[in-house]
């Protein structure tokens, strides 16, 4: 069958696509940036990448019309756009308008549980999208999930940060809100097994784990899995804004995402029972089991997708990495260094392991200070780390950088700075004809940018010099 997947480079999409390919289906991935997606799906058979932006109906012409089934996985957890719900509804309307011109039989939509009478604006938007997608030309199957537990998911990583960093917590009262967490494996099972099931046509199902837990209980059970003793005290005096800052400074989340999560966490996420588990033969695992499975993936370095690689965690980039691939030459300051390479493979492996737990090979203390300053002013800091210790793909988050280009065979890695800066910055590593070239480029914005460059120039000399020497050991 030919299956269309929207949101193909998102947290769910990147995990669902391999399951569909293993079944022998042809998968059409609708992505906004084909250059970014190529690195994710390199070497895969039966996969077709098409560039489409569902905010623009005319851009959907590139999507084939002979599709059998489709997954609608377009979500926005960012509240950067004040009218994001209007944009989400527009995406859904354009998708429906396109889908009704195709041979599509069924659309499978992953939404959020929306049973509470008082919904956050994001959950309300999910509900409106479901209403928009409904059609007489194709069947709509909606799965509504609450907190998704899996390696790399935003909820999992935030809980992990809180538990592993804080022995004791004075926390907001919304930690007493009830929810029904669901493991990522079970989410994928529901989505995967729903294809072509006529019993599910034009129906909506809440999918959830077997336990009703408060966020506080989730934190404490997580600490039990990690064999850590933790104390949590909830207080009623934390406003949503203070709660957002609390999450932002303690965890690896961005402030925008923290604010969105805080607004949603005040809403109880309790699902309505149905026979969906029996129909699809899915028996959801407990919360503790989901956490344990997540750590198996982490230990195996096999995290397929992470919310940190989404542009939600970006302070600067919005959609397209290829727009930043051509490093400017004019009006820029550069720090250029080169060294003769004795062992190309060893040097490349060190370049590809840069950042995260490995660090930046020189001046670690200075990098940490720069990360703290960035976080203080609302940037990502060094908290995002990296998804995998030795793999890099275009679009990946790498501390306060974003991977713009990564080709190990060609010996080139290009990073774009997402730290708070009075300008734009790139860091490039390239091996050509046995020479390692390391280039830091800064394009200043006005006088402030120029003053910044001259202020940090002495530190750059030591840091970049030490870095290239240690990379090329």
Give dist(CA 161, CA 154) in Å, integer: 11
Q: What is the pLDDT of residue 79?
A: 45
Give dist(CA 111, CA 109) in Å, integer: 6
Q: Which among 319, 318, 328 is positioned nearest to 440, based on CA atoms?
A: 328
pTM attached to this predicted model: 0.74
User: Beta strand 401-407 with 412-417: parallel, antiparallel or unpaired?
Assistant: antiparallel
* 150 pLDDT more than 60: yes
Q: Tokens 């859904």 sit at which residue?
A: 92
* 388 pLDDT more than 90: no
Give dist(CA 228, CA 278) in Å, integer: 36
- Confidence category of residue 329, pLDDT binned at 50, 70, 90: confident
pLDDT in tens, 91-141: 999 999 999 999 999 999 999 888 776 777 777 888 889 999 999 999 999
What average pLDDT is seen over the chain? 85
């Amino acid at each position: 069958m030919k299956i269309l997947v929207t949101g193909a480079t998102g947290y769910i999409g990147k995990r669902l696509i391999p399951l569909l390919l293993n079944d022998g289906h042809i998968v059409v991935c609708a992505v906004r940036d084909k250059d970014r997606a190529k690195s994710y799906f390199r070497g895969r058979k039966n996969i077709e990448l098409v560039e489409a932006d569902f905010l623009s109906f005319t851009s959907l012409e590139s999507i084939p019309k002979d599709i059998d089934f489709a997954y609608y996985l377009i979500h926005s957890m960012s509240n950067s756009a004040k009218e994001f719900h209007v944009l989400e509804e527009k995406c859904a309307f354009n998708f429906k308008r396109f889908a009704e011109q195709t041979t599509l039989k069924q659309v499978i939509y992953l939404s959020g549980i929306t049973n509470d009478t008082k919904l956050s604006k994001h959950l309300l938007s999910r509900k409106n999208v479901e209403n928009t997608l409904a059609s007489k030309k194709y069947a709509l199957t909606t799965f509504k999930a609450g907190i998704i537990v899996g390696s790399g998911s935003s909820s999992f990583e935030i809980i992990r940060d809180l538990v592993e960093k804080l022995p004791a917590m004075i926390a907001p009262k919304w930690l007493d809100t009830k929810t029904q967490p669901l493991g990522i494996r079970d989410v994928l099972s529901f989505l995967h097994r729903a294809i072509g099931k006529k019993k599910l046509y034009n129906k909506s199902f809440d999918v959830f784990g077997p336990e009703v837990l408060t966020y506080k209980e989730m934190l404490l059970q997580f600490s039990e899995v990690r064999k850590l003793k933790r104390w949590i005290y909830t207080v009623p005096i934390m406003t949503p804004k203070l709660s957002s800052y609390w999450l932002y400074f303690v965890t690896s989340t961005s402030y925008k995402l923290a604010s969105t999560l805080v607004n949603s966490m005040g809403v109880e996420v309790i699902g309505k029972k149905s026979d969906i588990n029996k129909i699809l033969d899915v028996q959801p695992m407990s919360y503790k089991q989901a956490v344990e499975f997540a750590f198996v993936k982490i230990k195996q370095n096999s995290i397929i997708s992470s919310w940190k690689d989404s542009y939600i965690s970006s302070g600067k980039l919005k959609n397209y990495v290829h727009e930043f691939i051509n490093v400017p030459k004019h009006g820029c300051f550069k720090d250029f260094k080169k060294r003769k390479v004795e062992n190309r493979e060893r040097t490349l492996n060190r370049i590809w392991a840069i950042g995260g737990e490995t660090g930046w090979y020189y001046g670690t203390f200075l990098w940490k200070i720069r990360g703290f300053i960035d976080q203080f002013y609302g940037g990502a800091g060094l908290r995002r780390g990296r998804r995998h210790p030795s793999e890099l793909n275009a679009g990946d988050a790498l501390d306060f950088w974003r991977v713009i280009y990564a080709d190990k065979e060609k010996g080139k890695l290009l990073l774009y700075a997402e730290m708070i800066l009075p300008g734009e910055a790139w860091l490039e590593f390239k091996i050509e004809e046995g020479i390692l070239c390391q280039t830091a480029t800064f394009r200043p914005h006005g006088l402030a940018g120029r003053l910044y460059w001259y202020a940090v120039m002495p530190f750059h000399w030591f840091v970049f010099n030490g870095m290239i020497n240690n990379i090329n050991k």
